[in-house]
Amino acid sequence: MTDVLRRGRASLAFGFFAQGVAFALLVTRIPAIQDRYGVSDALLPAFLAAVPILAGAGSVATERLVKRVPPSLVLRWSQPVVFLALLGVSAGDRMVELGVALGAFGLSVGALDASMNMLGVSLQRSYGRSIMLSFHAAYSLGGILGASLAWVGARWDVALFVSYLPVVVVLLPAAFVGSRWYADGEPEPVREGAVKGASVGFKVLLPLCLVMTFAYIGDSTVSNWSAKYLQDVLGSSEQLATVPYNVYMVTTLLGRAIGDFGVRRFGAVAVVRVGAVVAAGGFAVVAVAPGAWVGMLGFTLLGLGLCVLVPQTFAAAGRLFPGSSDVAVARLNVFNYVGFLIGSPLVGALGDAWSYRGAMLVPMVLVLVTLVYARSFEAQPDRYGGGHERPRTADVGRGSNGL
């Protein structure tokens, strides 16, 4: 049974990796997509906003779907749709075709994100120790590869379809074959004092929803404004302005690669607190930076701090609602997209109305609010993450059974 867990963990990590590649290929080639379809600057925000809105709808639908089928089955069939939708974005030439492709991408990516994290929470519970950050590290690695491939495509002026096709041809069948080993862990018995499945309500989940939103406001600030901030505010060259996001992605990967060890040693509450303080420090450094290199130090700190918050928020939902973690994860995942939708427009509006330096203080304060809710990440004494761990059991009662 231990082999079942190991194969399940490896195949799920590859699923996270593949998703990181796909998402990075989409968001980093937005200018090329805009040129291909002739999308105006005025219309572009509507297209971009539609993806996270539909992803939220996909996550809500997944909450209901997993009551009838296991999350592994949802993940197995939603991932190919994500890749095919990505290819569809590169293959059309009419606005309506772009709308259909992005709509399919948004809905399927919401189902995929929700089901991936459901399986991650379930596997972590079966392992009896923190492994959630390792899955998100795989996602970060995929994001770095996808962004690098997108850079190559843009550098050599490769057509979108030609750029996307090899990636889809390689990753889609690999992910589909790997999905045979996805493992759905048995639901954890509801212990005394835990929240029962029927009682998963917004009020109880609210602290984690807020933390998720604040984390993604911070993340979207970096992804959407780091280059502009370095060039327009800190006076860097155009080439140097592309570096902060890459630095952020690399430090996110490093932080997640070692983060599980920190959770096992010091507990989730301590790791989340440290992450929030480091991320807030990063925003502060960016806000007061006298030049580009100090600004990049701030973005480095942001990667190290923000990287732990999202995986630990999903893990905390699994501990808080042991009898119905799938429902909790699906609802929590919606706030991933809420933060993404709020973050970039918020910073842009504040930057135009006030100053971009001042705008960086807003996500700083929001990330610090995480400290108020840090206790929501606390584990029960008889569960993993509370200073000691359960024996490594392999209680995996159902798998994807190759469907």
Residue among 118, 104, 139 nearest 18 (CA) = 139
3-state secondary structure of 401: coil
Task: Give me the pLDDT at residue 359, please.
Answer: 96
Give domain limits for the chain. 1-190+394-403, 192-379
Angle at the Cα of 122 from the Cα atoms of 111 and 266, rounded to 5 degrees: 115
Angle at the Cα of 292 from the Cα atoms of 287 and 298, rounded to 5 degrees: 45
Q: Which CATH superfamily is domain 192-379 in?
A: MFS general substrate transporter like domains (1.20.1250.20)
Task: Give me the pLDDT at residue 154, please.
Answer: 85
Label residues 232-267 b or e (16+ Cβ within 10 Å = b).
ebbebeeebbbbbbbbbbebbbbbbbebbebbbeeb
Task: Give me the pLDDT at residue 188, please.
Answer: 57
Are both 1-190+394-403 and 192-379 of the same fold? yes
Two tokens, residue 354: 């006030």
Choose between 187 and 145: higher pLDDT. Answer: 145
The mean per-residue pLDDT over the stretch 21-35 comes to 90
CATH fold for the domain made of 1-190+394-403: Growth Hormone; Chain: A; (1.20.1250)
Q: Which residue has tokens 């606390």?
A: 378
The mean per-residue pLDDT over the stretch 230-239 comes to 88
What residues have CB less than 8 Å from 93, skipping those under 6 apart?
36, 37
State the first-to-last Cα distance of the chain, in angstroms, to the nearest integer.
20
Task: Give me the pLDDT at residue 42, please.
Answer: 84
The tens digit of pLDDT for each residue in 251-299 reads 999 999 999 999 999 999 999 999 999 999 999 999 999 999 999 999 9
| CA atoms of 92 and 37, how far apart (whole Å) | 8
| CA atoms of 101 and 106, how far apart (whole Å) | 9
The mean per-residue pLDDT over the stretch 366-395 comes to 66
The tens digit of pLDDT for each residue in 52-107 reads 999 999 999 999 999 999 999 999 999 999 999 999 999 999 999 999 999 999 99
Angle at the Cα of 311 from the Cα atoms of 308 and 313, rounded to 5 degrees: 100
| CA atoms of 310 and 216, how far apart (whole Å) | 8
The tens digit of pLDDT for each residue in 166-199 reads 999 999 999 999 999 999 866 555 554 444 444 6
According to DSSP, the residues that pair with 122 across neighbouring strands are none
Task: Give me the pLDDT at residue 187, please.
Answer: 57
